Amino acid sequence: MKNAVILFLFAISLLSSCTEERLNIDTSGIDVHLNFKHYEQDLFTINRNNIERSLDELSLKHPIFISGDYKNPSEIHELNTYLNNELNTKLFKDWQTKIGTYDAIETELNKAFSYFKHYYPNDSNPSIYTYISGVNYEKPIIIKNNNIIIGIDMFYGKNYKAYQQLKIPQYLSKSYDKKYITPIVFREFITQKFAPFLAGKTMLDNMISLGKVEYFIEAVTPQLQDSIRFQFTTSQMNWCYGHERAFWKHLTIKGLLFSNDYHAYKRFLQPGPFASSMERESPARIGIYIGYRIVKDFMDKNTEVSLNELMTNTDFTAIFKASKYNP
The SS3 of residue 3 is helix
Burial 237-255 (b: 16+ CB within 10 A, else e): bebbeebeeebbebbeeee
Q: Which DSSP helix (H) or strand (E) runs through 185?
A: helix 181-193
Other CB atoms within 10 Å distance of the CB of residue 55? 18
Rounded to whole angstroms, the Cα distance separating 54 from 235 reads 49
Q: Are strands 127-131 and 35-38 parallel, antiparallel or unpaired?
A: parallel
Q: Please count the residues of the chain.
A: 327
Q: Which DSSP helix (H) or strand (E) runs through 216?
A: helix 203-220
Residues 221, 187 contacting (CB under 8 angstroms): no
What integer pLDDT is reported at residue 21 of this predicted model?
75
Express each pLDDT in 185-233 by its tens digit: 999 999 999 999 998 899 999 999 999 999 999 999 999 999 999 999 9
Report the predicted TM-score, pTM, of the whole model to 2 decimal places.
0.90
What integer pLDDT is reported at residue 10 of this predicted model?
55
pLDDT under 70: residue ranges of the chain: 1-20, 275-280
Burial 77-115 (b: 16+ CB within 10 A, else e): eebeeebeeeebeebbebbeebbeebeebeebbbbbbbb
In the chain, the amino acid numbered 213 is V
Rounded to whole angstroms, the Cα distance separating 151 from 280 reads 31
**DSSP letter, residue 201:** S
Percent of the chain with pLDDT strictly greater than 90? 79
Edge-to-edge strands, sheet with 35-38: 35-38, 127-131, 147-151, 141-144
232 phi and psi, to 5 degrees?
Answer: -105, 155
Q: Are strands 147-151 and 141-144 parallel, antiparallel or unpaired?
A: antiparallel
What integer pLDDT is reported at residue 182 of this predicted model?
98
